[in-house]
Chains A and B, each alone.
Chain A
C-alpha cells in the first residue's frame, strides 16, 4: 500500500484542461521529483495532491483512503505544502513564522503551548535556522527564507512534504542544503514530492521521477529510465549531454531542437 497515490487525475479550470489522466504513487521513504517544462502542470498536480485544490475527475488517496474525505485539520497535520516563492506578508520574526506551523494543532482561541514551542525549536535545529531566530524574516536572503519556510513545515511534523520549486533562485550551497533536508525527511520513513527544474539536482537527490508534458504524464521511473537524451529532447525540446559518473548523473542542455514546438 502506498502512502500517497493519485488515480486518473483530471484537472480543468473552466474548459481549459490543465491535467489529464495522471497516475502517481509515492511510497514511504521516497523522495519523488516532478519535472517537466514550464506550463506542464507540475504545480497544479502538486496542489491537487496536497488537497488545496480538488480534482475535476479521479482521486487522490492517502493510506489508501480518499484525501477528499480527510478532515481538514488531519490533512493539515499530515501534509506540509511549501508554495512556490513562499514569503511572509508581515515583518514577522523567524521564530514567529515557524510557530505558524503549529496552527493545525491549536484551537482558534489557543496560544502556542510549551509543546508547540519545543517543536518549533526542533524544527529550527533540523533546518539550521537557530542562528537567525530573532531576525525579521523579510530581511533574510532568499536561501535563508526558504529554510525558514521549510522549518515552518517541519514544525507541523507532517508525513508528506510537497515542495514547489524550493531551490529555484538559490545558490548551490543552499540548493544542496534544502535538498538534503528533504531527503533526510524522506529517509525517516516519510516522503517528499518536489517540483524541480534542475535536472542534475533531481538526478542527484530523487529516488524516482515523474516527467510531465502538456498536462500529461510522459513517463516515470528511476533516474536512468526518465532522464534519457530522447525523453529530454522530446519533452523539453533541447539536445542534451547526459553523463553518468560514479559521483552521480549530470544533465547539460546543449542546444534547442529546431523542430520542437512547445
Chain B
C-alpha cells in the first residue's frame, strides 16, 4: 500500500470538519423532520417546543453517545494493537466487552432494568471491572503478553457462556428478545443520563490511554528495548489495560457490543500516521467517532422503525472491509 503519511495539521484539517459534518447530519436524521435552527433558538429561549425537545432530549444525546463510543472504540483498538504489537487486537480481546455485556445481561435477567435507568449501565461497569480484576489476578506477575491474551480469551469464553445461560433460562420470550436486542448494540433511545454516566469513565480511560502513547512508540522496538529506554513496562501495561477497561466498559454498558470499529479503524488510519502508534491513538479516536456517527445515520435511514441495530451494521460493513484491508496490507505487515 503506497499511502503517503499526512502531517498532523493536514490530517486533522480533514478529520475534524468531517466529524462536525457527520454530527450535523446525525442531528438532522430521524423519524420526523424538524427545523434544527428553530430547535436551537427555542432551546436558548428556554421554550419547550417539539423542535427543541427532539433536538436536545433525543437526537443530541444519541449522536453524542455514538460519537464518544466510536472514539472510545477507535482509541482502545489502537491502544491494544500497539500494546500487543498485533494488528488483529481489538477492544474485546482483554475480555472487557463480554464482562460488561454480562453485567448488563444480569440486570436484564433479574428484571431490574425497569426499576431505575442507571442500573443497566452500572451493571455493565461492574461486569467490566470484575472481568479485568480476574484477568489481572490471572496474569499476576507474569511478564508475558501471551498470558494477558489467553486470560482475555478465557474471560470472554466465560462471559459468553454465562450470557448464553441467561438467554437459556430467560423468563419469557420477550425478556430474551430484550437481552438479544440490547446485546446487538445500539444508541437509540438513550437519554442525556446515559451519556453522563458513561462520559467520566470514558474521559479517564482516554487520558490513561493517551498517557501511554510514548510508551507504545517505544514498544515498536520490543519490550526489552522499551525497558532500557526507562519505561516501567509492567506498570504502563496496567495503566493501558485499565484505561481500555474504563472507557470500553462504559461504552458497552450504555450501548451494548458494537463490533469491528475498534479493529478496523486503526487499520484504516495507520498508513496516514506513518504507522506511529502514538499518533494513531488520537487519529483513530476521531475516525472512530466519525464512522460510528455515519453508521448510526445509516441505521436510521435504512430502517425507519428502529429495528436495525447499530452493532449489526458495523459488523456487516466492517467484516468484509476488514478482509479487504488484510488483502491490501498483507505485504506491508510481515
* In the complex, A221 has a CB within 8 A of chain B: no
Instruction: Say which residue of B225, B231, B275 sits within 8 Å of A72 (CB atoms).
Output: B231
- Report the separation of the CA atoms of residues A97 and B220 in the bound assembly, to the nearest whole angstrom: 9
* In the complex, A191 has a CB within 8 A of chain B: no
| Contact B229 A92, beta carbon cutoff 8 Å | no
- Report the separation of the CA atoms of residues A92 and B221 in the bound assembly, to the nearest whole angstrom: 10
- Report the separation of the CA atoms of residues A48 and B213 in the bound assembly, to the nearest whole angstrom: 27
* In the complex, A24 has a CB within 8 A of chain B: no
The minimal Cβ–Cβ distance linking A138 to chain B, given in whole angstroms, is 6
Instruction: Say which residue of A79, A90, A108 sits within 8 Å of B220 (CB atoms).
Output: A90
Chain A residues in 8 Å Cβ range of B230: 72-73, 75-77, 103-104
- Report the separation of the CA atoms of residues A86 and B229 in the bound assembly, to the nearest whole angstrom: 14
Chain B residues in 8 Å Cβ range of A126: none
| Contact B224 A52, beta carbon cutoff 8 Å | yes
Instruction: Say which residue of B221, B270, B277 sits within 8 Å of A152 (CB atoms).
Output: B221
| Contact A92 B274, beta carbon cutoff 8 Å | yes
* In the complex, A87 has a CB within 8 A of chain B: yes
| Contact A89 B220, beta carbon cutoff 8 Å | yes
Binary flags per residue of B207-249, CB closer than 8 Å to A gives 1, else 0? 0000101110111111011011111100000000000000000
* In the complex, B323 has a CB within 8 A of chain A: no
Which residues of A116-160 have CB atoms within 8 Å of chain B's CB atoms? Answer: 138, 149, 152
- Report the separation of the CA atoms of residues A106 and B219 in the bound assembly, to the nearest whole angstrom: 16
Instruction: Say which residue of B85, B219, B221, B231 sits within 8 Å of A97 (CB atoms).
Output: B221
Q: Assuming A72-B230, A76-B229, A100-B220, is B275 touching A90 (CB within 8 A)?
A: yes
* In the complex, A88 has a CB within 8 A of chain B: yes
| Contact A104 B276, beta carbon cutoff 8 Å | no
The minimal Cβ–Cβ distance linking A246 to chain B, given in whole angstroms, is 39
| Contact A92 B220, beta carbon cutoff 8 Å | yes
* In the complex, B172 has a CB within 8 A of chain A: no
Q: Assuming A83-B224, A90-B220, A92-B275, is B211 touching A103 (CB within 8 A)?
A: no
| Contact B220 A88, beta carbon cutoff 8 Å | yes
Instruction: Say which residue of A73, A80, A100 sits within 8 Å of B218 (CB atoms).
Output: A100
* In the complex, B333 has a CB within 8 A of chain A: yes
Instruction: Say which residue of A81, A88, A92, A93 sits within 8 Å of B228 (CB atoms).
Output: A81
The minimal Cβ–Cβ distance linking A52 to chain B, given in whole angstroms, is 5
- Report the separation of the CA atoms of residues A48 and B214 in the bound assembly, to the nearest whole angstrom: 24
| Contact A89 B218, beta carbon cutoff 8 Å | no
Interface residues contributed by chain B, number (CB under 8 Å): 27
The minimal Cβ–Cβ distance linking B132 to chain A, given in whole angstroms, is 23
- Report the separation of the CA atoms of residues A156 and B134 in the bound assembly, to the nearest whole angstrom: 39
The minimal Cβ–Cβ distance linking B280 to chain A, given in whole angstroms, is 9
Chain A residues in 8 Å Cβ range of B333: 91
The minimal Cβ–Cβ distance linking A158 to chain B, given in whole angstroms, is 10
| Contact A103 B229, beta carbon cutoff 8 Å | yes
| Contact B211 A93, beta carbon cutoff 8 Å | no
- Report the separation of the CA atoms of residues A212 and B215 in the bound assembly, to the nearest whole angstrom: 34
Chain A residues in 8 Å Cβ range of B219: 89
Chain B residues in 8 Å Cβ range of A77: 230
* In the complex, B116 has a CB within 8 A of chain A: no
* In the complex, A50 has a CB within 8 A of chain B: yes
- Report the separation of the CA atoms of residues A83 and B220 in the bound assembly, to the nearest whole angstrom: 13
* In the complex, B327 has a CB within 8 A of chain A: no
Question: In the complex, which residue of chain B has the Cβ closest to the Cβ of A149?
Answer: B221
Which residues of B245-272 have CB atoms within 8 Å of chain A's CB atoms? Answer: 270
- Report the separation of the CA atoms of residues A88 and B217 in the bound assembly, to the nearest whole angstrom: 10
* In the complex, B144 has a CB within 8 A of chain A: no
Q: Assuming A104-B229, A108-B211, is B217 touching A89 (CB within 8 A)?
A: no
* In the complex, B334 has a CB within 8 A of chain A: yes
Chain B residues in 8 Å Cβ range of A75: 230
| Contact B228 A89, beta carbon cutoff 8 Å | no
Which residues of B316-330 have CB atoms within 8 Å of chain A's CB atoms? Answer: none
* In the complex, A96 has a CB within 8 A of chain B: yes
The minimal Cβ–Cβ distance linking A75 to chain B, given in whole angstroms, is 6
Instruction: Say which residue of A92, A97, A103 sits within 8 Å of B214 (CB atoms).
Output: A103
- Report the separation of the CA atoms of residues A77 and B228 in the bound assembly, to the nearest whole angstrom: 9
* In the complex, B13 has a CB within 8 A of chain A: no
| Contact A96 B276, beta carbon cutoff 8 Å | yes
- Report the separation of the CA atoms of residues A97 and B229 in the bound assembly, to the nearest whole angstrom: 13
Q: Assuming A73-B230, A100-B217, A103-B229, is B222 touching A90 (CB within 8 A)?
A: no
Chain B residues in 8 Å Cβ range of A96: 274, 276
Chain B residues in 8 Å Cβ range of A89: 85, 219-222
Chain B residues in 8 Å Cβ range of A51: 228
| Contact A88 B221, beta carbon cutoff 8 Å | yes
Binary flags per residue of A215-238, CB closer than 8 Å to B gives 1, else 0? 000000000000000000000000
Sample 21 A-B pairs with CB under 8 A, ordered by A number. Answer: A47-B224, A50-B228, A52-B227, A72-B230, A73-B230, A79-B228, A80-B228, A81-B225, A87-B221, A87-B222, A89-B222, A90-B220, A90-B276, A92-B275, A93-B274, A97-B220, A100-B217, A103-B230, A104-B230, A108-B213, A149-B221
Known: A80-B228, A149-B221. 19 other contacts (CB 8 A): A52-B228, A72-B230, A76-B230, A77-B230, A81-B224, A87-B222, A88-B220, A89-B220, A89-B221, A90-B270, A90-B276, A91-B332, A91-B333, A92-B275, A93-B274, A100-B218, A100-B221, A100-B229, A103-B230
3 closest A-B pairs (Cβ-Cβ)? A76-B230, A81-B228, A72-B230
